[in-house]
Amino acid sequence: MNKIIIFVIATIFTINASAQGCSDAGICTMGALKQTSLKTHSDSVFRRFSIGLNHSMGIGEVSTNVHISSLTARVFLTKNTQVQVNMPLQIASGKLGTVAGLGDLTIGFSQVLAQNKDWKYTLQLGARIPTNAANISTPATLRPEFQNVNKQINDLIKDLINTPIPLQFDLLKNNIDITYPMVYQSSRGTYDFMGGLSVEYKTWQLALGYQVPINSNNENDVDNNKYIDSVKLPGNLPLPISFDLSYNYIYGLEAYNEYFSSRKLNRKADFMYRIQKSFAVGNSTKLQVGLLGIYHMGNDVISSPKIPDIPLLNTAKLLLPANIKSQIDNLFGGIEREIEVAGSKGTTLNITASLQHQFAKRFQFNFDMGFPIVTRSAQPDGLKRSFVGSVGIECAF
């Protein structure tokens, strides 16, 4: 048995982990869908309550380190019924700095439907509640070479409408708050429903789960597309300036180009499937290895780029001839279109392993790890990981 365990662990560590995946939005680690029972052969006493502390570390996109510390409480209403509550704190650190925030609150309910000596069927329901709108931001300042842009544009429009009144359209603000990419955000910004079924047969477990956002409150504003390739009016009305008008460039945020665009992200549903096998190591230790698949059921949707709002522009347009008005609409148009993120639909397949050890009857130590071997090309939700490992301890009362 020891040789089997060593072989399994060695195999896991030697597989190429350079792929990007993981992609768990919460369903994979909820209640019965992740087998973490405190009961072992050494302790058959029914416990009413347990509390656990867990810390995980994952490597996200652009080598961003994501640390999540979680406090989990479980209340056992009966031997077959329990409620779980999980509250995480996330700290993400990478090229753009370090960002900390409370993660989404998850609430779960597990009910054993039937069981005998060999079989066990457990229903899992749950919800994920956002703690923010995925809009944690950082200040950014306009590059010096663009400080005079507002005056040039105001002078041009003033000449077009032939008015002696000075104009003060604020096209480019000197200081803005721009949101961090989703990998830095502690919340997905959505209310999610989760449900699934776990089937255990002797030392095997098959788990199926479904997670769907039911109400999106995502206000992330990261978009790496250029707003306008060249700032000029159509026809024979060029502006006296020409440059690439993108937030990332004019505010000195070129590093954002390495991250996925996620402006007002509309995240699609996930279908989860897990199969794993347990190996008993004595009476109080258990090793589990398996495969975890997550099928993202549609391409995510983001909003198209939009020029920053220009105060009073709509009022000024009332004074303009129709042809000039349409030209300004083409330049500053505020219509947002929805864009599907190609490659965000599909499967992520992960190899997982966990070790559970019970001591002093009431305590359990957990170690978990996983990484992908199959992945999607685009993951704008910030859940892309090349590796995830966690350690935790749980105490039953």
Q: Which residues of 219-236 are buried (b: 16+ CB within 10 A; e: fewer)?
A: ebbbbbeebeeebebeee
Residue 316: its pLDDT value, please? 52
Please state, rounded to an integer, the average pLDDT across all residues of the chain. Answer: 80
Q: How far apart are CA 294 and CA 84, in angstroms?
A: 22
* Residue 160 pLDDT > 70: no
Burial of 192 (0-12, 13-18, 19+ CB in 10 A): buried
User: Percent of the chain having pLDDT more than 90?
Assistant: 54
Domain residue spans in the chain? Answer: 2-136+180-224+259-300+341-396
pLDDT tens digit string along 9-36? 444 333 333 333 456 778 888 888 885 4
Q: How far apart are CA 173 and CA 179, in angstroms?
A: 16
- Fill in the DSSP letter of residue 63: G
pLDDT tens digit string along 181-211? 999 999 999 999 999 999 999 999 999 999 9
- Measured on CA atoms in the order 169, 175, 177, 182, is the torsion positive or negative? positive
What are the Cα distances from residue 64, in Å, to 16, 98, 103, 179?
19, 10, 17, 16
* Residue 172 pLDDT > 80: no
* Residue 1 pLDDT > 50: no
Q: What CATH architecture applies to the domain 2-136+180-224+259-300+341-396?
A: Beta Barrel (2.40)
pTM over 0.75: yes
* Residue 174 pLDDT > 90: no
pLDDT tens digit string along 57-111? 999 999 999 999 999 999 999 989 999 999 999 999 999 999 999 999 999 999 9
